[in-house]
Structure 1
Amino acid sequence: MREWQLSPAELLPLSMNWVSRVRRADGSTAVLKLAVPEAGHLADEATALEWFAGRGAIEVLARDDARGALLLEEARPGIQVRDLVPHRDEEATAALIRIMRRLHRPVGTGVELPELAGRSASFERHLRRFPENGPIPRHLVVRAAGLFGELCASAAERVVLHGDLHHDNVLSAERESWLAIDPHGVVGDPGYEVGALLYNPDPSGTDDTVLDLAMARVEQLADGLGMPVERVLAWGFVQGVLSEVWAFEGDGMRSSRALRLAERLFPLLG
Structure 2
Amino acid sequence: MVRILTALRRNVAGAWGAAGERWLADLPDLLAGLAADWDLVLGPPYDLTFHYVAAVRCADGTRAVLKVGFELSVEAAALAAFDGRGAARLLRADPDRGALLLEQVSPGDRLRDLVPDRDPEATEVLAGLMRRLHVPPVAGLPTVLSQVSALDGHRGAVPADLVGPAAAAMRFLCATATREAVLHGDLHHDNVLRGTRDPWLVIDPHGLVGDPGYEIGSILFNPDPGDRDPALTALVPARLRQLSAALGEPVDRLAAWGFVKAVLSEVWTADSGGTPSRARDVAELLRPS
For 1:235, the equivalent position in structure 2 comes to: 257
For 1:198, the equivalent position in structure 2 comes to: 220
- Counterpart-to-counterpart distance in 1, 2:189 and 2:42: 27
Asked if 1:125 corresponds to 2:153, the answer is yes
For 1:96, the equivalent position in structure 2 comes to: 126
SS, match of residue 2 in structure 1: helix
For 2:141, the equivalent position in structure 1 comes to: 113
For 1:179, the equivalent position in structure 2 comes to: 201
SS, match of residue 55 in structure 1: coil
SS, match of residue 135 in structure 2: coil
Counterparts of 1:11-22 in structure 2, within 5 Å, are 11-22=45-56
Asked if 1:255 corresponds to 2:255, the answer is no
Among candidates 245, 248, 257, match of residue 223 of structure 1: 245
For 1:210, the equivalent position in structure 2 comes to: 232
Query: What amino acid is the match of 1:226?
Result: G
Report the CA distance between 1:255 and its aligned residue: 3.4
- Counterpart-to-counterpart distance in 2, 1:61 and 1:82: 26
- Kindly tell me the number of residue pairs found equivalent between the two proteins: 255
Q: Could you give the per-residue CA deviations for residues 115-143 of structure 1, whole angstroms, max 9, x where no partner exists? A: 111001001111xxx3xxx5222111110
Q: Could you give the per-residue CA deviations for residues 178-232 of structure 1, whole angstroms, max 9, x where no partner exists? A: 1010001111100000011011001122323221111110000000000000011
Report the CA distance between 1:112 and its aligned residue: 1.3
Among candidates 210, 213, 230, match of residue 188 of structure 1: 210
SS, match of residue 190 in structure 2: coil
Counterparts of 1:2-17 in structure 2, within 5 Å, are 2-17=36-51
Counterparts of 1:49-198 in structure 2, within 5 Å, are 49-107=79-137, 111-126=139-154, 130=155, 135-198=157-220
- Counterpart-to-counterpart distance in 2, 1:15 and 1:101: 30
Higher relative contact order (CA 8 A, sep 6+): 1
Query: What amino acid is the match of 1:266?
Result: R
Considering only aligned residues, what root-mean-square deviation do their CA atoms show, in Å?
1.1
Instruction: Tell me which moved more, 176-185 or 1-10.
Output: 1-10
- Counterpart-to-counterpart distance in 1, 2:62 and 2:101: 12
- Counterpart-to-counterpart distance in 1, 2:54 and 2:82: 23
In 2, are the aligned partners of 1:199 and 1:258 still within 8 Å (CA)?
yes
Aligned residues: percent identity?
A: 50
In 1, are the aligned partners of 2:83 and 2:89 still within 8 Å (CA)?
yes
For 1:264, the equivalent position in structure 2 comes to: 285
In 2, are the aligned partners of 1:19 and 1:34 still within 8 Å (CA)?
yes
TM-score with structure 1 setting the length: 0.92
- Counterpart-to-counterpart distance in 1, 2:173 and 2:246: 19
SS, match of residue 160 in structure 1: strand
- Counterpart-to-counterpart distance in 2, 1:179 and 1:146: 33
Query: What amino acid is the match of 1:103?
Result: L
Q: Which runs of 5+ in 1 are unaligned?
A: none
In 2, are the aligned partners of 1:203 and 1:255 still within 8 Å (CA)?
no
- Counterpart-to-counterpart distance in 2, 1:240 and 1:148: 12
Asked if 1:44 corresponds to 2:74, the answer is yes
- Counterpart-to-counterpart distance in 2, 1:244 and 1:121: 14
- Counterpart-to-counterpart distance in 2, 1:68 and 1:255: 32
For 1:244, the equivalent position in structure 2 comes to: 266
In 2, are the aligned partners of 1:33 and 1:71 still within 8 Å (CA)?
yes
